[in-house]
């Protein structure tokens, strides 16, 4: 990346931090035209959130996230696209597409992706129902610190009749979740979306 591009990228990030979305959007658009990969993801987030003079636009956000995934192999973009299809943000709910996007992150051991894959495997949404796979995915998410992965693993243990293990896992989830919520309520491991 050239020095001029790095300077523009720093200016764009500063505009975003200041809350000047209009200026940030312009700068990131220019950077995207120059092939800046970080600009692709930033534009996705700007349009996803909207505000400060920029309209929320899930279609535009999805476009930038798709580019960030293809051109930069962005983990964040795959996670965002999975979320779009899982919750129907600017698109119809499509669990099959959500499953495909989250599956791209399974090898990276991304806790939110593992958790969502677990839910879809447990319920048979976007894939065949496979409770054993769901249990494994919840375990893996829990080992990465995902509180809801731990909770769902506990529930599956209780349903299997493994009540002492399930209750112990549930108790750990409560303790960890309470601690995380008290120390950092915005921690991603507490998010279900």
**Prediction pTM value:** 0.84
Does residue 189 surpass a pLDDT of 60? no
Span 20-71, pLDDT tens digits: 889 999 999 999 998 889 999 999 999 999 888 899 999 999 999 999 999 9
Domains of the chain: 108-193 (1.25.40)
What confidence score (pLDDT) does residue 29 get? 93
Helices 75-87 and 111-123 pack at an angle, to 10 degrees, of 30
CB-based contacts of 85: which residues, under 8 Å, 6+ apart?
A: 91, 93, 94, 95, 97, 98, 101
CB-based contacts of 80: which residues, under 8 Å, 6+ apart?
A: 44, 48, 61, 65
Helices 21-33 and 3-18 pack at an angle, to 10 degrees, of 150
Please, are residues 59 and 90 in contact by the beta-carbon 8 Å criterion?
yes
Span 108-146, pLDDT tens digits: 889 999 999 999 999 999 999 999 999 999 999 999 989
Please, are residues 23 and 46 in contact by the beta-carbon 8 Å criterion?
no
CB-based contacts of 175: which residues, under 8 Å, 6+ apart?
A: none
What confidence score (pLDDT) does residue 180 get? 63
Mean pLDDT of 151-160: 94
What confidence score (pLDDT) does residue 184 get? 64
Mean pLDDT (the chain) is 90
Does residue 177 surpass a pLDDT of 60? yes
């Amino acid at each position: 990346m050239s020095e001029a591009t790095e300077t523009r990228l720093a200016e764009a990030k500063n505009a975003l931090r200041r809350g000047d979305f209009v200026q940030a959007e312009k700068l990131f658009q220019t950077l995207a035209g120059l092939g800046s990969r970080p600009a692709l993801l930033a534009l996705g987030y700007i349009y996803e959130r909207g505000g400060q003079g920029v309209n929320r636009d899930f279609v535009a956000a999805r476009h930038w996230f798709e580019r960030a995934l293809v051109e930069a192999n962005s983990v964040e973009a795959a996670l965002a696209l999975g979320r779009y299809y899982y919750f129907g943000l600017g698109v119809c709910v499509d669990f099959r597409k959500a499953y495909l996007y989250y599956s791209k992150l399974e090898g990276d051991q991304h806790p939110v992706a593992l958790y969502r894959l677990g839910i879809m495997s447990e319920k048979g949404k976007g894939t065949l129902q496979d409770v054993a796979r769901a249990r494994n995915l919840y375990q893996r998410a829990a080992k990465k610190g995902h509180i809801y992965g731990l909770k769902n693993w506990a529930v599956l243990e209780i349903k299997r009749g493994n009540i002492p293990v399930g209750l112990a896992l549930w108790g750990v989830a409560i303790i960890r979740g309470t601690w995380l919520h008290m120390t950092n309520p915005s921690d991603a491991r507490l998010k279900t979306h």
